[in-house]
Amino acid sequence: MKMLINVPETVVADALRGMAAAHPELTVDVENRVVVRRDAPVAGKVGLVSGGGSGHEPLHAGFVGPGMLSAACPGEAFTSPVPDQMVRAAAAVDSGAGVLFIVKNYTGDVLNFDMAVELAEDEGLQVARVLVDDDVAVSDSTFTAGRRGTGATLFVEKIAGALADEGAPLERVEAVARRVNESSRSFGVALGAVTTPAKGSPTFDLPPGELELGIGIHGEPGRERRPMMTSGEIADIAVHAVLEDLRPDGPVLVLVNGMGATPLLELYGFGAEVHRVLSERGVAVARTLVGNYVTSLDMAGCSVTLCQVDEEMLRLWDAPVQTSALRWGR
């Protein structure tokens, strides 16, 4: 496999050096693997910290900035960051108003963030934790006890980040973050396998002419494999799977997310099919975001995330945000 890297061992460090060069509004600690908004800590503001294995960019470091995360902790590719990173990030963004950890539901992430909570509290920090577990495809799969955390992470980080920027207390930011997660569901589809730098070859076998329904963002198995289908047929299956679990009775946010190797030309066409299915089911769309936001290295495919929103959640979604990967209203 051809990759634009030096050696697999330095992929994350090299990427962080590049992020530091491209984004002077961030403080990037390459050695300790922590990315912090340069103005942190902000007086009176709850700090938001997230993190996870690298390979899902722009998640999470690409969402550090005003209106979203205060800091992010990148691990090695598809590998959880360690508690020391999380505690360092929390200390860097704590203004005395407390810190909220946003954690995707993968066993390594959960264990390490739990340890980080204990260590941070030992250092006198007030810390809360919210778990993201929005994937409807499977439960208790590879790397996961319960549902996997996927696209809803973006909704949680954006909406909770906006509320934190308004100066809301930790308990309120935590409650809204939980509400966003509880109101969100996702379903992913793989058209091609993912290749990690360390392995240098596809991590699973997906024969030509087949796709995997319900794939995880690390290439974990989904619900089933089928012969390749049209964009409209895939949208029918993915959106119906989400709606059968979410059963919204109000407007939704829509994320049409690329897995890393699917071009926008295809994603926008797929997004049109997602809107068609939602219209046929009588579901109103409040806002739509299309692009590569929660990726899986070079995997071809997509995911659909829906979040039922109330007026407050929609207002916070629309609030200004300025990160390297998501920005509007400023």
306 phi and psi angles, rounded to 5 deg: -120, 140
Task: Give the separation between CA 286 and CA 284, rounded to whole angstroms.
Answer: 6
CB-CB contact of 121 with 83 (8 Å): no
Of 314, 320, 240, 321, nearest in space to 277 by CA = 240
Angle at 54 between CA 139 and CA 189, to 5 degrees: 45
Tell me, what's the pLDDT at 112?
98
N- to C-terminal Cα distance for the chain? Answer: 41
In 3-state terms the chain splits into helix, strand, coil percentages (rounded to 5) of 35, 25, 40
Q: pLDDT tens per residue, the chain (330 residues)?
A: 899 999 999 999 999 999 999 999 999 999 999 999 999 999 999 999 999 999 999 999 999 999 999 999 999 999 999 999 999 999 999 999 999 999 999 999 999 999 999 999 999 999 999 999 999 998 776 666 789 999 999 999 999 999 999 999 999 999 999 999 999 999 999 999 999 999 998 888 899 999 999 999 999 989 999 999 999 999 999 999 999 999 999 999 999 999 999 999 999 999 999 999 999 999 999 999 999 999 999 999 999 999 999 999 999 999 999 999 999 997
Task: Give the separation between CA 70 and CA 66, rounded to whole angstroms.
Answer: 8
Cis link prior to 41 (omega < 30° from 0)? yes
Mode of pairing for the β-strands spanning 184-190 and 301-308:
antiparallel
Task: Give the separation between CA 45 and CA 97, rounded to whole angstroms.
Answer: 6
Q: Tell me the one-letter amino acid at 255.
A: L
Tell me, what's the pLDDT at 142?
64
Measured from the Cβ of residue 216, the count of other Cβ atoms closer than 10 Å reads: 25
- Across the chain, how many H-helices and E-strands are there? 8, 14
pTM for the model: 0.97
Tell me, what's the pLDDT at 1?
80
Angle at 157 between CA 45 and CA 137, to 5 degrees: 155
Active site residues: 56, 218
